[in-house]
A and B are shown apart, each in its own frame.
Chain A
């Protein structure tokens, strides 16, 4: 599969623990996005990278959330001190700079217990 891949697919964690998710975009895509999706809602934008630079962050992204894309390839999203309200599907998407179509990964489903 040469599409966007995310790891892990599922994560169950106890409240207060830290979690980290990984996204591998399509190789020639220099733009990478993180979204969060809860039941019955559309994907909500979290943050966006162009190469290694984080260009935009949503107000949804509290101080407990941090994202990196150190070499402009894969990206990680870390949530510190998880709360039950963090339970959601976390989606990654990538696209080429010249093309507006974004390709999505299958997501990481986080459950905080």
Chain B
């Protein structure tokens, strides 16, 4: 069965510091992985997906199939990055499975 693990429920960094939000997955097939973000009082929205290999708002994420990881990184965190971040796995059964989320706080 597919599973997504985000080991850190809370993560706090200072503005300008690098940030890494961890995500590990288990899935026997070929995964499609996403990062969704939820800002305060807003709906869940897609941040990035591994197949597009884009950098959105300075965030990047690389799929490491050997380590079954899809960690989200940003070299210099900004206060507006404070939000809840969810890693999600899309499987061939068309289901999107979410991790439990990491609450990122960027302090001034």
Contact = CB atoms under 8 A, between A and B. Distances in A.
Which residue, B94, B95, B100, has most C-beta atoms of chain A within 10 A? B94
B43 A56 contact: no
**Interface residue range, chain B:** 20 to 34
B59 to A, nearest CB: 16
Contacts of A50: 94
A43 B43 contact: no
Contacts of A31: 94
Interface residues of A, number: 25
Given A104-B45, A107-B43, A48 B86 contact: no
Interface of B: 4, 6, 9, 32, 34, 36, 42-46, 49, 86, 90, 93-101
Interface of A: 3-4, 31, 33, 35, 40-45, 48, 50, 55-56, 91, 93, 100-107
